[in-house]
């Protein structure tokens, strides 16, 4: 029996190593697994999960599976990108790092692949792939500042908004870590893929200020990766992408102090509609951007098709006075061709400032950020042109948390947990929103099924359907002209009803500034020295169709996305994309050369780090094979000596053999 036991142990060890490698390989590409059914998930596996840390109470139900509660499972398995419907084998809510490690062990024991889910904002549903155990980290969202307030350690389940709230609550003026534009995006995926946003030109990528990651590896061990220990894993944790090498359970960041202690003007520049101003404004912007001072953070350099022609504009934060910001814009030559439309472009202007330029002074970046969220989560129809600027900071927090509670119903909210309807300080409009009344639309950040049951005013917008990203350097004039032409064509086709899917989201992050402070190979984020990270997507209204019809999708891909892709390829032939904005995993928009596409020259090193781990695993297996084989031989020998030994000396020999066998057990 013992011999069989040892053989079984050997076999399962080999199998386990193999499974771990498969998990790692699958996660590197971020591709969901091929298993298509969640039936047959063994009760023993679910029991293994249920037995983890039974005292923990972070979530009401911690183990979720189709076989346990189909309705709950259907709610809980959702990704924010609704077009990726995935069916994980089970979802496990971890309350501690130890829970994550134990859950990984359970999965290994039952040969089930593992994924991590933080904010669930990944573009391709890789947080909860079909057939995997999805370990949900949303309750790992606590934070702690170091005694000298120079660093912050925070869980991956915390959101962008929560990190900023934490820094604000520290009371240190200007304390910052670079985060992204939408408050509910999880730090887990965001930071591991790089992290772009308003503060990028000032502080660099979100992950550039990482000091340490606590990580559960595929075999369940917990390690700390930093520049001294596991430096390779640490390097890969900045741009390598989520789900690649292990599950991060805590990030530690250096806290930066923003220029001018964080006092800033929020600036929006909008240019006139039409091909000529579109081209000229782009060229001027591209000339100015690399030379702009480090007091400027720039984001949302967006393009909008309109019946009057394409429109370009950008948003920025300037850490200084409004007059100085205006002077820099003037000196930079970016104030020609401004929008002169009093309806679209006259809001928030400081009297005497040009139309098309909006400037609002803020006490802190946090204050500014809260305002942008009002736009991001509710359309300008909510408070036309004003965001939440007229409210106090505390009221803004209440207002945004009300939105969170009312619309998202998520277990974690970034601000203060307040019920809008019960709170008299929440503005009336928000109370109406919470009650599902009024003509409000949901915009930029809120593309989620989680919203679906609470469609506000019947106008749910599912954004980012079919997203396609491209990263490239400054565009030659002819490329901008071609782009203008493409947008003109789209607007014309829409007006004539030729194309039905006319709502296009066309977002632009821009690099330069502190993004370039590290070299492309210093972290795993390679494409630092480019200028544009553009993404286009289709915006659909759930009021009409929750999903686009196949015909509409095909038309849109044929008439707009493919021509855009070809246009970029004419000028930048080797397609590159941001690891955090993964392109569709199949169909015509797949990024074919994805190895280079997401990681450039860093792919080889990422691959090597993985194979180094795989080699280590193989060595461990070899050592185990040797040990277990010795054990088997000894066992056989003992059996033989037992059979043949009839004299006293055999007794000693037998004892020695038993000791040896004990050692290898
Ligand atoms: C509305 C919206 C706005 C966005 N805005 C920005 C922006 O301004 N700037 C920007 O740079 N990006 C932005 N993104 C992209 C975003 O950074 C990525 O989608 C990111 O991966 C989301 O992280 P998450 O934790 O929310 O997602 P998840 O879907 O939970 O995770 C994404 C991937 O990371 C893995 N992962 C998650 N947590 C961990 C962990 N703890 N350890 C290991 N792997 C993990 C998952 O397995 C999955 O593969 C935006 C996305 C959306 C949908």
For the chain, report the end-to-end CA distance as a whole number of angstroms: 14
Mean pLDDT computed over every residue of the chain: 76
Cβ(248) – ligand 1 distance below 6 Å: yes
| Residue scoring higher pLDDT (64 or 37) | 64
Average pLDDT over residues 15-41: 36
> Quick one: pLDDT band at residue 549, thresholds 50, 70, 90?
low
Highest mean predicted confidence (pLDDT) among 98-102, 368-372, 443-447: 98-102
Q: Which of 14-28, 339-353, 486-500 has the lowest mean pLDDT?
A: 14-28
Q: What is the mean pLDDT of residues 598-620?
A: 76
Tokens 């050592």, residue? 623
Higher pLDDT, 36 or 462: 462
Per-residue pLDDT band for 329 (boundaries 50, 70, 90) equals very high
Residue 60 exposed, middle or buried by CB count within 10 Å (0-12, 13-18, 19+) = exposed
Per-residue pLDDT, 561? 85
Q: What integer pLDDT is reported at residue 298 of this predicted model? A: 96
The average pLDDT across 231-243 equals 96
Q: Decide: 26 in ligand 1 pocket, CB within 6 A.
A: no
What is the CA 361 to chain-centroid distance, rounded? 30
Range with the lowest mean pLDDT among 25-34, 329-338, 398-407, 426-435? 25-34
Helix axes 2-29, 603-644, angle to 10 degrees: 180
Longest Cα–Cα distance in the chain: 111
Residue 587 and residue 201 in contact, taking contact as beta carbons nearer than 8 Å: no
pLDDT tens column, 630-665: 454 444 444 443 333 223 332 333 333 333 333 333
Specify the residue with its C-alpha closest to ligand 1, atom 15.
Answer: 580
Q: Residue 589 Cα, ligand 1 centroid: separation in angstroms?
A: 20
Cα–Cα distance for residue pair 517/513, rounded to 1 Å: 7
Better pLDDT: 512 or 635: 512
171-205 burial code (b ≥16 CB/10 A, e <16): ebebbbbbbbbbbbbbbbbbbbbbbbbbbbbbbbb
d(CA 126, ligand 1 centre) in Å: 10
pLDDT band at 499 (very low <50, low <70, confident <90, very high): low
Using CA atoms, how far apart are residues 187 and 267, in angstroms rounded to an integer?
26
What 393-398 contacts at long range (C-beta under 8 Å, 24+ apart), as own/partner pairs, is 393/363, 393/366, 393/367, 394/425, 395/425, 395/426, 395/427, 396/367, 396/370, 396/371, 397/165, 397/370, 398/423, 398/425, 398/426
What are the angstrom distances between the C-alpha of 311 and each of 280, 356, 479, 632? 11, 12, 16, 75
Q: Exposed e or buried b for every residue in 504-525, given b needs 16+ CB within 10 A? A: bbbbbbbbbbbbeebebeebbb
pLDDT of residue 445 exceeding 80, the answer is no
**Ligand 1, closest atom to CA 156?**
41
- Tally of CA atoms within 13 A in the half-sphere of 70 that contains its CB: 3
pLDDT given at position 34: 31
Rounded Cα distance, 252 and 211, in Å: 5
**What is the tally of helices (H) and strands (E) in the chain?**
20, 18
| pLDDT computed for residue 584 by the predictor | 82
Judge if the beta carbon of residue 88 lies within 6 A of ligand 1. Answer: no
**Backbone phi, psi, residue 307, to 5°:** -60, -25
Span 75-99, average pLDDT: 86
Q: Which residues pair with 107 in a beta bridge?
A: none
Q: In this predicted structure, what is the pLDDT of residue 557?
A: 80
**205 in contact with ligand 1, CB cutoff 6 A:** no
Ligand 1 atom nearest to CA at 245? 43
pLDDT level of residue 57 (50, 70, 90 thresholds): confident
Average pLDDT over residues 583-611: 91
Q: At a CB cut-off of 8 Å and minimum separation 6, what does 177 contact?
A: 152, 163, 167, 203, 206, 209, 253, 254, 255, 256
Given a cut of 80, whether residue 157 has pLDDT beyond it is yes
pLDDT digits (tens, 9 = 90+) for 267-289: 989 999 999 999 999 999 999 99
Alpha helix (H) residue ranges in 257-317:
275-288
Residue of 376, 576, 570 whose CA lies nearest to 475: 570
User: Two tokens at 365?
Assistant: 């970046």
Closest approach atom of ligand 1 to CA 79: 29
Residue nearest to atom 51 of ligand 1 (CA): 121
What is each CA distance from 231 to 212, 228, 236, 239, in whole angstroms?
Answer: 10, 6, 9, 14
What pLDDT, on a 0 to 100 scale, did the predictor assign at position 46?
A: 97
Which of 126, 164, 188, 463 should be mutated for ligand 1, with most atoms under 8 A from CB?
188
**pLDDT reported for residue 52:** 98
User: To 5 degrees, how large is the angle CA 34–CA 40–CA 44?
Assistant: 120
Q: What pLDDT digit, counting tens, does each position of 365-424 carry?
A: 988 888 777 655 554 334 434 455 566 777 667 666 665 555 544 433 444 333 333 444
What digits encode the pLDDT tens for the residues 572-581? 999 999 999 9
Q: How confident is the model at residue 349 (pLDDT cuts 50, 70, 90)?
A: low
Helix (H) / strand (E) element for 626: namely helix 603-644
Of 141-145, 421-425, 560-564, 599-603, the one with minimum mean pLDDT is: 421-425
Higher model confidence: residue 584 or residue 565?
A: 565
Predicted confidence at residue 415, as pLDDT, reads: 41
Percent helix, strand and coil across the chain, each to the nearest 5: 45, 15, 40
| Distance from Cα 187 to the centre of ligand 1, integer Å | 7
Q: What is the dihedral of CA 279, 280, 283, 284, to 10 degrees?
A: -150
Tell me which of 209 and 361 has the higher pLDDT: 209
Tell me the two tokens of residue 242: 């989520």
Residue 107's Cβ-count burial label (10 Å; 0-12, 13-18, 19+) is buried
Percent of the chain with pLDDT over 70: 67
Give Rg (Cα) of the chain. 28
Task: Give Cα 254 distance to the centre of its chain.
Answer: 20
Model pLDDT for residues 177-233, shown as the tens digit of each residue: 999 987 778 999 999 999 999 999 999 999 999 999 999 999 999 999 999 999 999
Q: CA–CA separation, 162 vs 184, rounded Å?
A: 8
């Amino acid at each position: 029996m013992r011999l069989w036991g040892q053989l079984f142990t050997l076999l399962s060890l080999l199998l386990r190593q193999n499974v771990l490698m498969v998990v790692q390989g699958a996660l590197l590409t971020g591709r969901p697994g091929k298993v298509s059914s969640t039936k047959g998930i063994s009760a023993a596996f679910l029991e293994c999960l249920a037995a983890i840390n039974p005292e923990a109470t972070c979530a009401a139900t911690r183990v979720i599976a189709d076989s346990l509660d189909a309705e709950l499972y259907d709610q809980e398995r959702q990704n924010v990108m609704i077009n990726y419907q995935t069916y994980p084998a089970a979802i496990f809510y971890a309350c501690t790092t130890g829970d994550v490690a134990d859950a990984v062990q359970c999965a290994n024991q039952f040969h089930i692949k593992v994924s991590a889910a933080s904010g669930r904002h990944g573009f391709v549903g890789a947080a909860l792939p079909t057939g995997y155990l999805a370990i949900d980290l949303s309750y790992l969202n606590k934070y702690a500042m170091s005694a000298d307030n120079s660093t912050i350690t925070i869980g991956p389940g915390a959101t962008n908004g929560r990190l900023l709230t934490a820094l604000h609550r520290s009371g240190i003026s200007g304390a910052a870590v670079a985060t992204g534009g939408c408050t509910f995006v999880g730090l887990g995926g965001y930071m591991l893929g790089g992290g772009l946003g308003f503060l990028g030109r000032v502080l660099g990528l979100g992950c550039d200020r990482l000091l340490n990651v606590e990580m559960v590896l595929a075999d369940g061990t917990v390690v700390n990766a930093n520049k001294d220990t596991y430096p390779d894993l640490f390097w890969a944790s900045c741009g390598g992408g989520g789900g690649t090498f292990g599950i991060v359970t805590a990030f530690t960041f250096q806290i930066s102090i923003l220029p001018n202690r964080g006092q800033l003007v929020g600036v929006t520049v909008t240019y006139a509609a039409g091909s000529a101003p579109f081209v000229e404004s782009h060229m001027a912007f591209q000339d100015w951007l690399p030379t702009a001072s480090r007091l400027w953070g720039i984001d949302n350099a967006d393009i909008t098709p309109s019946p009057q022609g394409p429109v370009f504009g950008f948003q920025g934060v300037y850490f200084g006075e409004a007059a100085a910001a205006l002077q820099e814009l003037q000196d930079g030559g970016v104030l020609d061709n401004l929008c002169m439309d009093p309806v679209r472009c006259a809001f928030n202007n400081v009297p005497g400032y040009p139309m098309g330029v909006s400037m609002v002074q803020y006490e802190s970046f946090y204050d500014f950020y809260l305002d942008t969220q009002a736009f991001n989560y509710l359309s300008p129809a909510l408070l036309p042109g004003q965001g939440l600027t007229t409210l106090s900071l505390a009221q803004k927090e209440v207002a945004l948390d009300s939105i969170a509670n009312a619309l998202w119903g998520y277990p974690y909210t970034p601000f203060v947990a307040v019920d809008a309807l019960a709170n008299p300080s929440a503005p009336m409009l928000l109370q109406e929103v919470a009650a599902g009344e009024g003509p409000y639309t949901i915009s930029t950040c809120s593309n989620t099924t989680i919203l679906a049951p609470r469609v506000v005013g019947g106008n749910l917008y599912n954004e980012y359907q079919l997203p396609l990203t491209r990263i490239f350097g400054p565009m030659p004039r002819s490329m901008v002209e071609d782009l203008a032409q493409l947008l003109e064509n789209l607007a014309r086709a829409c007006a004539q009803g030729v194309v039905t899917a006319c709502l296009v989201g066309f977002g632009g992050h821009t690099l330069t500034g502190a993004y370039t402070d590290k070299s492309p190979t210093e972290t795993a984020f390679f494409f630092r020295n480019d200028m544009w990270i553009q993404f286009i997507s289709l915006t659909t209204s759930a009021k009409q169709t929750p999903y686009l019809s196949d015909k509409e999708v095909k038309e849109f891909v044929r008439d707009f996305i493919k021509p855009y892709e070809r246009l970029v390829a004419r000028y930048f032939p080797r397609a590159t994309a941001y690891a955090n904005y993964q392109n569709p995993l199949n169909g015509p928009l797949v990024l074919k050369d994805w190895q280079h596409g997401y990681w450039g020259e860093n792919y080889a090193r990422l691959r090597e780090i993985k194979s180094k781990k795989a080699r280590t695993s193989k060595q461990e297996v070899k050592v185990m094979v040797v040990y277990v084989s010795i054990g088997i031989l000894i066992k056989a020998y003992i059996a033989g000596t037992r059979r043949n030994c009839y004299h006293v000396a055999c007794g000693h020999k037998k004892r020695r053999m038993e000791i040896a066998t004990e050692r290898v057990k």
